[in-house]
Structure 1
């Protein structure tokens, strides 16, 4: 493993800036890729996309069981609450002969997951044009540094920001694997209007360059197909998503607690499996922004390590990762976990990326 790439006495003020990282990587012949976490969305608006905002929304639902759980566990971190709930359920299965407590905890777990999805959608900006032009263009330029140079973009975020930015500026610059089937090709040649089916995943998956590792608001699993919700019937995308949720249809969201449980969820969905395995196969270098490789992200580290070890003889592998940090505490965290990575670990000052400005 790549131990102690970052010296123990290395300080936040010693960090290289984002532009220096890109300049260095662009001198190399192999591709660079991007992985983003919640920090990407919080950099746009922390009042909407922080854990505190989501917690406050759920608290206002006045669900007595959920409120008590947050109070007992004493955190606003959803991943920790879900992890603890899973533990409670396993303990209850051992001691609860009646099954009443197990059922109550399982119901609470289901409500928490549904409430998280509802919170993300309800707090979200209403439509794509809520993002100012200058910020939209700035973010698009940031993403194009990867997409236009043979790289891939991976996101663990549930929200619509990434999707909006790509669709608004140039939808042809990225491929998310979705496409429509032409339903009446013969009739079209006879002069009739073309008819197309739903937007389904799979048609362009081999050319895919954008991956939602934990799912996202517009992507639904119908049981037989992976379908993407779109602007239709003169309604904005978020309106259509909420309409489906009102009908008890929920987007693909990985809301499990720890990394093992998240991976289990991922491998039970073919879209998520494909995205995760695609991360496990990248070569060159990976840049992270707003993703801190926390205690519930071991499955992402495992994917990075698979990419680092594959093709070791041919040289077709992941050589390095550049992790963006915001503070001295973030830097110390990466120092403490750098031994977990099988590739070279570098750090940079994430504050200098200026994605949205």
Structure 2
């Protein structure tokens, strides 16, 4: 396959003005900002330093920094123990260890995260907003599989006016004739603006909490930064909507059991035109995303409108080879471009 550059993607966008262009972000988006914070290596090191006996055993036996693979191994071990009647006690221990690892992963993301949005330099925030606007300004959508706050921060700080994450408020004390200054507003609930939604966190994200009948989005206030408020919730034993691990099928099962996540996945499955991916490597545990793309491509059928092409950003020759090896999984035209030609954070 020929490696194009990002200018070729932009040229295609200009030539196909009648086509929607959407964006899918993976962990490479955050790593491009700071790999010392957002890589699996950083998360792994944080959890190692916790010196938890059970987690140390897991990390020593399963010698990988890929948390999805660790979770997969734990699930497989539980299934094997069940198949060989190994006893409920050991199964319970593995389940507890798995849950502890998920919680620790969240704690690591929270602790390593920059303190607040203004830690991102102004010129870098503007460069990233310019990149995102290439898609949002033309009626496209942005999908992210990242849990962190970077995308949310850039969208809010840069005042990209046409971005909608589906959340809104309700007036709690409305009476006819009441002055607007006297309104009392609810928390931000997802769903109030989902008809206009064009930003989707397919695997959840730190600001989104499942409150049972509602999805609540944590927000800034004059008294505390967003990350502080998220931390307060987590210290109360509340945890964000967060698809952490498992095979593609297991991730999809998790997604389909949460109405926010399933809505986001369905929207990805319905896009038309062209999808551009950045920092998403389509690994072994991402087959549910491939399935969403194939649904959007209407499984290769001729009916329109549908998704017709995918531009996949790659960083290396190994990335290129990987996409060539899995190209047959896609029921849509696949093109690749050099992700390093995107001036994402304005540092080039």
Whether these two folds match at TM > 0.5 is yes
Answer yes or no: is 1:24 the counterpart of 2:24.
no
How far 1:232 sits from its partner (Å)?
A: 2.2
* Change in 2 beyond 3 A, CA 1:25/1:200: same
Of structures 1 and 2, the one scoring higher in RCO (CA 8 A, sep 6+) is 1
2:212 corresponding residue in structure 1: 223
1:270 to 259, 274, 277: 259
Answer yes or no: is 1:164 the counterpart of 2:153.
yes
- Whether the aligned pair in 2 keeps the contact of 1:321 and 1:346 (CA below 8 Å) is yes
2:309 corresponding residue in structure 1: 320
| Whole-Å separation in 1 of the counterparts to 2:300 and 2:310 | 17
Q: 1:181-221: per-residue Cα shift (whole Å, max 9, x none)?
A: 12223266257511111100001111100000000000000
Gaps of 5+ in 1: 1-5
1:71 corresponding residue in structure 2: 60
2:239 corresponding residue in structure 1: 250
How far 1:269 sits from its partner (Å)?
A: 0.2
What are the residue-to-residue correspondences of 1:279-290 with 2, within 5 Å? 279-290=268-279
1:132 corresponding residue in structure 2: 121
Q: 1:35-63: per-residue Cα shift (whole Å, max 9, x none)?
A: 01000000000000001000000001111
| Whole-Å separation in 1 of the counterparts to 2:248 and 2:275 | 20
Aligned residues: 345
How far 1:297 sits from its partner (Å)?
A: 0.2
| Whole-Å separation in 2 of the counterparts to 1:163 and 1:210 | 9
- Whether the aligned pair in 2 keeps the contact of 1:32 and 1:285 (CA below 8 Å) is yes
* Change in 2 beyond 3 A, CA 1:190/1:53: closer
2:294 to 305, 312, 317: 305
- Whether the aligned pair in 2 keeps the contact of 1:183 and 1:194 (CA below 8 Å) is yes
What are the residue-to-residue correspondences of 1:31-42 with 2, within 5 Å? 31-42=20-31
* TM-score relative to the length of structure 2: 0.96
- Whether the aligned pair in 1 keeps the contact of 2:277 and 2:311 (CA below 8 Å) is yes
What are the residue-to-residue correspondences of 1:1-357 with 2, within 5 Å? 6=1, 10=2, 15-28=3-16, 29-186=18-175, 189-190=178-179, 193-232=182-221, 234-309=223-298, 312-357=301-346
| Whole-Å separation in 1 of the counterparts to 2:177 and 2:316 | 58
| Whole-Å separation in 1 of the counterparts to 2:134 and 2:171 | 33
* TM-score relative to the length of structure 1: 0.94
* Change in 2 beyond 3 A, CA 1:109/1:204: same
| Whole-Å separation in 1 of the counterparts to 2:21 and 2:342 | 16
| Whole-Å separation in 1 of the counterparts to 2:178 and 2:30 | 45
How far 1:70 sits from its partner (Å)?
A: 1.6
What SS does structure 2 have at the residue aligned with 1:324? strand
| Whole-Å separation in 2 of the counterparts to 1:206 and 1:296 | 30
